[in-house]
Amino acid sequence: MWFFTDEEKELQRVCGDFAQNELAPFAEKHDTEESFNIDAFKKMGELGILGITASPDFGGAGMGCLAATIVMEEFGKACASSTLSYLAHSILAINNIENNASKEQKEKYLPKLISGEHIGCMGMSEPEYGSDALGIQTKAENKGDHYLINGAKMWITNAQYADIAYVYTRTGKNKKDLSTFLLEKDKGHFKFGKPIHKMGMRASPTGELVFDNANVPLENRVGEEGQSTYHMMKNLDIERITISGISVGIAKACLDQCVKYANERKQFGKTIGSFQMIQKMIAEMAAEVDMMRSFLYQAAYEYDQGNHGPVLAAKVKLAIPKMATKIALDAIQVHGGYGYSREFPLERMMRDNKLMEIGAGTNEIMILIIAKNLLAITE
């Protein structure tokens, strides 16, 4: 984009090279095996991007939403699953800690998370509460010098590998009486429950976190008791913008595959790129990818300038993943039977992108956020 700084352009180049060398060659293998590319994840720590939005005081890069979105796009072109795990670690765990935790908590947790020595996750969704995030029932009971936490979290990215979990709990009767805790696996604060086998994002580990009378010290609470609803909503904005970067990466990869294939595949004695129907589909993909990128990075830029409202993030999250799914389906159509087979990566890209229309708030929730704002509906 024309407004990228020299630092952001260099980040784009470095992350693009890393993705092609460390993610793309192994994407199909990890998708087939439902395994986690932990070697590449550790190398992200060496690259210095796990703490992309965290302060340099704790080893972070000190950059913003736009920079994080660049990483998502470049990685998303190569392996969306690995990128989702990166997002869960860098945005859902580290960015939350950076923005909401005390100095002492940051000093304790951030360096190992940013280096990649520890892996982080965030616990919000529950077996019975997904879109209704404020309805969560995992409870933290104040016992004076500690809390007892009971409940479970579901659909948690990185659950199987997490050392640190940033977890939302209920600490009062009011729907907004939510409190956050930094929980440590080595201290027995949580256990891994059942793994979740998914249609897409198969190389991004997903599962259940279980809390069974977890004895958690007072100092592990983030902020004041009952004050975490604001933290949750604020971080959802940057999550929805940055996760849309994965969809742009997927869409661009689909376009690149189609251009290459259309120039190579022959039917009726000539390349399929010479047929107007194929030209139409590829031309529309190219225009759509450019529109997606422009909208996405404008939103990321505005976020970094202080526009943290939920409506812009919801518009991005609604429009971009939907368009990327269309592009992935069109790319499969261009490839015909090969597109539907696992010989080409397009079916994986389509499967992976479908999650973008569900995770971080479904399309339907995004519509409600946008419509209520436009129509001034307050209930």
CA dihedral 199, 79, 244, 308 (to 10 degrees): 120
Q: What is the DSSP letter of 204?
A: S
Is 347 noted as a catalytic residue in this protein? no
Catalytic pick among 8, 22, 239, 288: 239
Question: 162: phi > 0 → left, psi -120 to 50 → alpha, else beta; which?
Answer: beta
Q: Which are the contacts of 169, defined by CB distance < 8 A and separation ≥ 6? A: 136, 138, 139, 140, 149, 151, 178, 179, 180, 181
Phi, psi dihedral angles at 368 (to 5 degrees): -60, -45
Type of residue at 230: Y
Query: Residue 27's CB: how many other CB atoms inside 10 A?
Result: 21
CA–CA separation, 232 vs 137, rounded Å?
Answer: 15
Angle 276-304/310-335 helices, nearest 10 degrees? 160
CA–CA separation, 278 vs 317, rounded Å?
Answer: 28
Look at the block and give the residue holding tokens 């997606």: 292
User: Can you list the alpha helix ranges (DSSP code H) found in the chain?
Assistant: 6-18, 27-33, 38-47, 65-78, 80-87, 96-100, 103-115, 228-264, 276-304, 310-335, 337-340, 346-354, 363-374
Query: Residue 82's CB: how many other CB atoms inside 10 A?
Result: 27
Angle 228-264/346-354 helices, nearest 10 degrees? 160
Type of residue at 324: A
Catalytic residues: 239
